[in-house]
Amino acid sequence: MNPVLIFRHSATEGPGYFTTFLDDHDIPWKLVRIDSGDAVPDHLDGVSGICLMGGPMSVNDDLPWIPPLLALIRDAIASDIPVIGHCLGGQLMAKALGGSVGANPVKEIGWGNVHITDSDAARPWLGNTENPMLAFHWHGETFSLPPGATRILESDFCANQAYVLNDRHIGMQCHVEMTPELIASWCDNGAAEIAASDSSGVQTPATIQVDLLARVAQLHRLADKIYSRWIQGLRK
């Protein structure tokens, strides 16, 4: 099988559990380190899927790699090459497909439940799962639904937590890829951001790390459902 291209936009926001899942399923992958100056490929030859990770920047920023990455996302979806986006990645997908990205009503940082909004559209991705489900959040912006997409998840602080397109692509505002190590790193690096926020949707680092292993295990059960569906569409 050809590799999945994984786009990392910040050194602190690596693929985490996503690559663990791929390795467990013997699916090859290649990391495109945008943060280290790797170029956005200009073609999709030899690519089985595209994964987009998070990052502290906005998709509306004037960054040289954003336009070619948006074009690559459009090419992938037009070619039925599966695309999956985590947080900033979901925003990049939405903007590439004609949606918009702007400020969420409140900043959302920490653990919070997500709720299914469309049972029929969610079932292929989530099966007969518990509702609500625990997810991890760290964002101040959010996306509108791009044309043709169906919303499948929401949270109390953010209306659009996940959408699907053509039974093959999924964009998420939440983070299902988190590991204990990633969460600890984010709490350390993001302590000042948390301290400066008065949002009701923001938790303290101490609160975020309570029962961390059990919460991450619960998160990975959600990730397993989403990732298992997504890899079914990979180009062989």
Q: Would you please indicate which residues are annotated as catalytic (active-site) residues? A: 87, 175, 177
Distance CA 133, CA 146 (A): 24
- Quick one: tokens of 50? 């595209």
Q: Is 34 exposed, middle or buried (0-12, 13-18, 19+ CB in 10 A)?
A: buried
Distance CA 85, CA 96 (A): 12
| Secondary-structure breakdown of the chain: helix, strand, coil percentages, each rounded to the nearest 5 | 35, 25, 40
- Quick one: tokens of 149? 């997409």
First to last CA, the chain: 5
Assess contact for 34 and 8: CB atoms under 8 A: yes
Q: Bridge-partner residues for 116, per DSSP?
A: 153
Residues 6+ apart with CB under 8 A from 224: 21
Q: Give the CA distances from residue 163 to residues 134, 184, 216, in Å, rounded to whole numbers and listed in that order.
A: 17, 28, 22
* Dihedral, 213, 215, 218, 224 alpha carbons, nearest 10: -70
Taking the mean position of all CA atoms in its chain, how far away is CA 174? Answer: 6
